[in-house]
Structure 1
């Protein structure tokens, strides 16, 4: 196992703190769920404070490159590494995820139905969000992307409104089906070039892909991230999910999860498939205008 950089693994700590803490919830006392609530809120606050500390003390906003770089050989047989870092795009989103999730924890104080499971899922979702924004291995990003799906599905289906089962299943089917395109793109880019199998995004960005392959992968990723971003006409899961989700989950949906779609477009489509982006840029601009007009028209209803 190898680590690049000699600094403390701050980003790994941010990811693992909520995840490991969630696994300890089943052994906590169950007196009216109060201990679980205070414990989960404490973990969320601690992780957010850690993010703020790292941003102030260890992150340099004037540096446009990747910082706090950590890279471990995880599963070298398939080319998977635990590679995480932040830059000017991802660091603000990490802070946003911490702030919104912490506030969502506070708003969930009245949850008294299966509080243990609720806070286990919330903390797991917390870890997955951070993992998506800091992952520098495209296969690791896909894993974190999938890790987010199940908690959201359960949070809607168990603590949602009257039509929660329908809304949760619709969310799961849309996002799970769309995420297949991320996996296909990851494998295609990682395996392209023969012997040098890598999923590291920096190395993937240096590869010279055929234009036809880039266009195909770009289109697939546009669908995957377009669903998460809920752009027209891939948005129909969102009204049901928002309408049936509880307030804390709705906060995370609007405040963080939709941003993951935009982040993916910037990091993968624009960053790794720049030649194809030249062809798709007018389409993205058109979609932007259509969504503005569509949103304005639907607001009358």
Structure 2
């Protein structure tokens, strides 16, 4: 009994899911009871997450903690194995915060409220399951489970083109996730020990060819989710049609699953293949940053501009992952947390603006600062964080990525200079398109058709509370980054060390490959040279 440990992680994963099963039986005609019930479940689960991690998590330990293993389907090797470390813990806290605030943001849902809150709670469970899963097959199941609620939430509560956006989302993400299963099966069945346990898979010695194939499969799946150019085209459509609470989760949490997968699977489990692919990731990251910023300029739809901004900011995660330094990985994780908070705030405020204007076209708004001064102030604060204003988390995350690349001794100086220069171009473009967005929406030409009354249109206490709950950690991390970095510093150092240790192995293999083939070529030349000389003679 002394070694007994409460199943904290299992409880945080299953509690929202099990609680959602009671929603159909709640007597409720107007949706008021079920929304309080869903919010109570969200708050209780978030409190459970904070308490479990506060009382049981050791920041100095690089091993998985709160590990729980239960035999589930031994016939196919599936175990319920969950655990957390420095990479997954901050993302689970982020998921709990944003999911709970998204439930509060959906306070005015009137169409099929029971189904809406049921799907939101299922999505809550799936998110935590993805970050906590330590069995690769369980990870795949949680990954798939998360797709279904998002598809239904967009297709029923979305905009005019919701069916198109939802179908595009499910086709991209579901088809790409097949690569996770294929890569997992290839890794699990290699060698005599068949296992899906991530810790055991990380200790397996795979042939380089298998590592490269598995890495490519994971890269496609996670590249769609992140998203990476040119696998990104589903994102603007999904954001522009999704309701504000769904956009909060989509941008704040679901995109981060792609970055988490790249660090967990591609870097930590396949370090030798990562050495080969890292320069490609750096190039794709630069393309994301610049392309996303340029695409944002061409968007007159408020949500699509913010979606393009998200594509740009995801590029910093790729660059940090490719840096081969613990500072770069540290910056990538910090950027995931920071962007999750900032994007959730921006998309929520975008939804609040839409509720009052009933349009997402920026040129149809204009002059809203006078009738909505509080929303204008909150929108401006979130935009300042997104453009990396010093003192906010966006600045710290992007600066750390820059330093991670600049201090890397793996790349040549020209490669680093070009990477930093092009990334800086994207960084300069960010305040231009964000400030122009604020100018057009809040100080543009007045639209007389809106007819907004100041005291009716401005932010309500609930909306202010949601935004402030996101701005507080944004400013807190910006002023004192250790609030976030202390949770994963030791883990990023361990991963960077593991990846760097694989560099000499790859270099030696390449040298051996060229030496062997060069020797064969010389031997062949020596063998045929006399024959050629006789023929020529």
Q: What TM bracket, shorter-length normalisation?
A: over 0.9
Separation in structure 2 between the aligned mates of residue 255 and residue 178 of structure 1, nearest angstrom: 21
**Match for residue 27 of structure 2?**
29
- 1:171-216 Cα offsets, whole Å, 9 max, x none, are 000000000000001111111113x211000111111111111111
1:263 pairs with 2:263: no
1:233 pairs with 2:230: yes
1:144 pairs with 2:142: yes
Separation in structure 2 between the aligned mates of residue 192 and residue 30 of structure 1, nearest angstrom: 53
**Match for residue 269 of structure 2?**
272
Match of 1:249 among 239, 246, 250: 246
Find the residue that maps to 1:77 and give its secondary structure: helix
Match of 1:283 among 280, 285, 288: 280
**Match for residue 170 of structure 1?**
168
Separation in structure 2 between the aligned mates of residue 59 and residue 289 of structure 1, nearest angstrom: 35
Find the residue that maps to 1:88 and give its secondary structure: coil
Separation in structure 2 between the aligned mates of residue 110 and residue 99 of structure 1, nearest angstrom: 20
Find the residue that maps to 2:297 and give its secondary structure: coil
In the alignment, structure 1 segments of 5+ residues that lack a partner are none
1:46 pairs with 2:44: yes
Separation in structure 1 between the aligned mates of residue 54 and residue 223 of structure 2, nearest angstrom: 33
Deviation at residue 217 of structure 1 after TM alignment: 1.0
Contact 1:19 1:123 in 2 (8 A): yes
In the alignment, structure 2 segments of 5+ residues that lack a partner are 299-537
Separation in structure 2 between the aligned mates of residue 150 and residue 298 of structure 1, nearest angstrom: 29
**Match for residue 209 of structure 1?**
206
Compare relative contact order (CA 8 Å, sep 6+) and give the higher one, 1 or 2.
1
1:198 pairs with 2:195: yes
Separation in structure 2 between the aligned mates of residue 36 and residue 97 of structure 1, nearest angstrom: 21
- 1:69-128 Cα offsets, whole Å, 9 max, x none, are 101111111111100000010000000000000010000000010000001100000000
Alignment of 1:69-148 (within 5 A): 69-148=67-146
Separation in structure 2 between the aligned mates of residue 181 and residue 266 of structure 1, nearest angstrom: 17
- Output the aligned Cα RMSD: 0.8
Find the residue that maps to 1:61 and give its secondary structure: coil
Find the residue that maps to 1:299 and give its secondary structure: helix
**How many equivalent residue pairs?**
296
Match of 2:151 among 150, 153, 163: 153
Separation in structure 2 between the aligned mates of residue 273 and residue 290 of structure 1, nearest angstrom: 24
TM-score normalized with structure 1 length = 0.97
Runs of 4+ in structure 1 displaced over 2 angstroms?
none
Separation in structure 2 between the aligned mates of residue 62 and residue 167 of structure 1, nearest angstrom: 43
Find the residue that maps to 2:288 and give its secondary structure: helix
Contact 1:78 1:197 in 2 (8 A): no
**Match for residue 60 of structure 2?**
62
Deviation at residue 31 of structure 1 after TM alignment: 2.5
**Match for residue 406 of structure 2?**
none
Separation in structure 1 between the aligned mates of residue 84 and residue 73 of structure 2, nearest angstrom: 22
Separation in structure 2 between the aligned mates of residue 123 and residue 35 of structure 1, nearest angstrom: 15
Deviation at residue 6 of structure 1 after TM alignment: 2.6
Structure showing the higher helix proportion among its residues: 2
Deviation at residue 271 of structure 1 after TM alignment: 1.1
- 1:140-181 Cα offsets, whole Å, 9 max, x none, are 000000000110000000000000000000000000000000
